[in-house]
């Protein structure tokens, strides 16, 4: 059994002293960028400056890897992150189990220790524009020139593409009444979902808790639909969430009164299908119901009904309605709008197109991207799964690559990548989990390849206690290293 801890190569932490200006140095007057925004422009030090946009697993590990390879403090690193706290999405579905071992505080991190440990700065600001010609990032606080730029901004929901008929007011209502629960928003979405479950229990806990995973096709009319392919952050999340809510139903003695219903546009779970089907049958029979091939059309938040395409007795398409009591609607996603600001080459959902070995933009060799919005271009259309482990590992690679370019004037390349993904499927009486491993590499012609292992134990089960306990160890390791919080 592969232990999740083996997936991480946790670099030894070496504290780098923060540079302090002596009193005898001449104080330079801040320059004003009159041409673009009239913002104060940050004074450039006599160092190479790397600006990293995004303070998640990809951005922070890029920054720390640069400084870990910068023994003589030749590189200034500035991370721009709009939020003062970070909510870690990995394993956060366990919050919905209601188990006392999993509280919101476990998933929230600040940026103090990681700055002190590695000697880079985190600027809490919002990026408004990027000028590649001037090599500047414009925030709501200041303009910052860069030598190298790393984009690690994550994803955004794309309600407008999925539901073009929805007004801004309806989109806002969807976020409040049926939050997606996939973004790092200091845990707001998860808190809303947990509140909704508790309110549902107080009302008697009788009815259906519905989860709608990201759709694989969109309807332009009752008769017409078209396939839609875009980024899916943590594809197993919908099904893991169903298990955690199923665990919550058991804990609150609501079996027989309520159930979780997954309404999926796919005919089987979109991630780890064999494993999740086994879990639903073994652990959640009568508690979790999976319905594939579901054709969502709309949601009526006033009547708490889901509108979907069905066929009547005369074989005509009709719009049918299905009631829900709690709804988790996971919208279609796209790359962060920050990628578009950079004006680099992107794919259909806005992902930054990268050289798969150098990890630089196809448009600009001084720009890198890591995390959910990064796309490694290859002839086989192999995708690195958008997940925390991918962002963490690629961040380490990009940081080492940049440091080598600056300090040694040497271009190093990505050779291989090991990405693991675990899903918690039960909390009580035992913590049980599913493990999958994906290994990526390149052949002698630099063509990308992938190997995938979905672990099966000696009892022919995809889930077991080592999977659950391994996930706990992995979470502590990856967050501890990323935020210097151990």
- Would you say the CATH fold of 157-332 matches that of 32-154+336-411? yes
Q: With cut-offs at 50, 70 and 90, classify the pLDDT of residue 1.
A: very low
Mean pLDDT for the chain overall? 91
Q: Which of 406, 445, 433 is nearest to 239 (CA)?
A: 433
Instruction: Give the CATH architecture of domain 157-332.
Output: 3-Layer(bba) Sandwich (3.50)
Q: What is the pLDDT of residue 231?
A: 86
What does the pLDDT look like over 414-458, one tens digit per residue? 999 999 999 999 998 999 999 999 999 999 999 999 999 999 999
Q: What is the pLDDT of residue 187?
A: 84
What does the pLDDT look like over 296-323, one tens digit per residue? 999 999 999 999 999 999 999 999 999 9
Question: Which fold, 32-154+336-411?
Answer: FAD/NAD(P)-binding domain (3.50.50)
What does the pLDDT look like over 191-214, one tens digit per residue? 999 999 999 999 999 999 999 999
Q: What is the pLDDT of residue 10?
A: 41
Q: What is the pLDDT of residue 17?
A: 28
Between the CA atoms of 177, 161, 372 and 274, what dihedral angle is there, to the nearest 10 degrees? Answer: 70
Q: With cut-offs at 50, 70 and 90, classify the pLDDT of residue 226.
A: confident
Q: Percent of the chain, pLDDT > 70?
A: 92
CB of 280 within 8 A of CB of 467?
no
* Other residues' Cβ atoms within 10 Å of the Cβ of residue 185: 16
What does the pLDDT look like over 110-148, one tens digit per residue? 999 999 999 999 999 999 999 999 999 999 999 999 999
Min mean pLDDT across 54-58, 225-229, 370-374, 450-454 is at 225-229
Q: Which of 47, 59, 218 is nearest to 152 (CA)?
A: 59
Residues 6+ away with beta carbon under 8 Å from 376: 354, 356, 359, 382, 383, 384, 448
The domains of the chain are located at 32-154+336-411, 157-332
pTM of the model: 0.90
What does the pLDDT look like over 12-66, one tens digit per residue? 333 332 233 333 333 344 444 444 557 899 988 899 999 999 999 999 999 999 9
């Amino acid at each position: 059994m592969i232990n999740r801890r083996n997936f991480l190569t946790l670099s030894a932490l070496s504290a780098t002293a923060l540079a302090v200006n002596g009193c005898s140095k001449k104080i330079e007057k801040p320059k004003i960028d009159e041409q673009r925004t009239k913002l104060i422009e940050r004074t450039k030090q006599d160092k190479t400056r790397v600006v990293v946009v995004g303070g998640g697993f990809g951005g922070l590990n890029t920054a720390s890897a640069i400084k870990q390879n910068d023994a003589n403090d030749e590189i200034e690193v500035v991370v721009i992150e709009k939020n003062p706290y970070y909510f870690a999405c990995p394993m956060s579905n366990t919050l919905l189990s209601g188990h006392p071992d999993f509280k919101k505080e476990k998933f929230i991190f600040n940026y103090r220790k990681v700055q002190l440990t590695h000697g880079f700065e985190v600027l809490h600001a919002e990026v408004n524009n990027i000028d590649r010609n001037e090599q500047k990032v414009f925030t709501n606080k200041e303009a910052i020139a860069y030598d190298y730029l790393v984009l690690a901004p994550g994803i955004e929901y794309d309600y407008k593409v999925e539901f073009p008929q929805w007004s801004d007011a309806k989109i806002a209502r969807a976020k409040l009444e049926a939050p997606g629960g996939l973004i790092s928003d200091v845990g707001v979405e998860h808190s809303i979902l947990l509140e909704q479950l508790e309110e549902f229990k107080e009302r008697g806990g009788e009815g259906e808790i519905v989860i709608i995973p990201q759709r694989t096709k969109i309807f332009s009319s009752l008769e017409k639909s078209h396939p839609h392919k875009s980024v899916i952050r943590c594809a197993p999340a919908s099904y893991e969430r169903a298990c955690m809510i199923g665990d919550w139903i058991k804990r609150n003695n609501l079996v027989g009164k309520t159930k979780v219903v997954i309404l999926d546009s796919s005919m089987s779970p979109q991630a780890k299908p064999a494993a999740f089907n086994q879990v639903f049958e073994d652990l959640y029979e009568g508690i979790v119901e999976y319905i594939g091939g579901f054709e969502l059309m709309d949601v009526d938040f006033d009547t708490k009904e889901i509108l979907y395409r069905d066929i009547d007795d005369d074989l005509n398409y009709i719009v049918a309605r299905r009631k829900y009591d709690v709804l988790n609607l996971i919208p279609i996603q796209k790359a962060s709008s920050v990628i578009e600001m950079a004006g680099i080459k992107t794919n259909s959902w806005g992902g930054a197109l990268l050289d798969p070995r150098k990890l630089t933009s196809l448009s600009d060799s001084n720009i890198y991207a890591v995390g959910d919005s990064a796309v490694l271009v290859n002839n086989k259309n192999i995708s690195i799964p958008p997940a925390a482990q991918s962002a963490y590992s690629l961040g380490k690679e990009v940081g080492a690559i940049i440091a080598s370019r600056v300090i040694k004037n040497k271009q190093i390349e990505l050779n291989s990548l090991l990405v693991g993904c675990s899903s918690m499927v039960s909390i009580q009486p035992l913590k049980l989990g599913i493990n999958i491993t994906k290994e990526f590499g390149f052949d002698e012609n630099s063509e990308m390849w992938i190997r995938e292992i979905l672990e099966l134990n000696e009892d022919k089960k995809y889930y077991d206690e080592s999977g659950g306990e391994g996930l706990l160890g992995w979470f502590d390791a990856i967050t501890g290293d990323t935020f210097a919080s151990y």
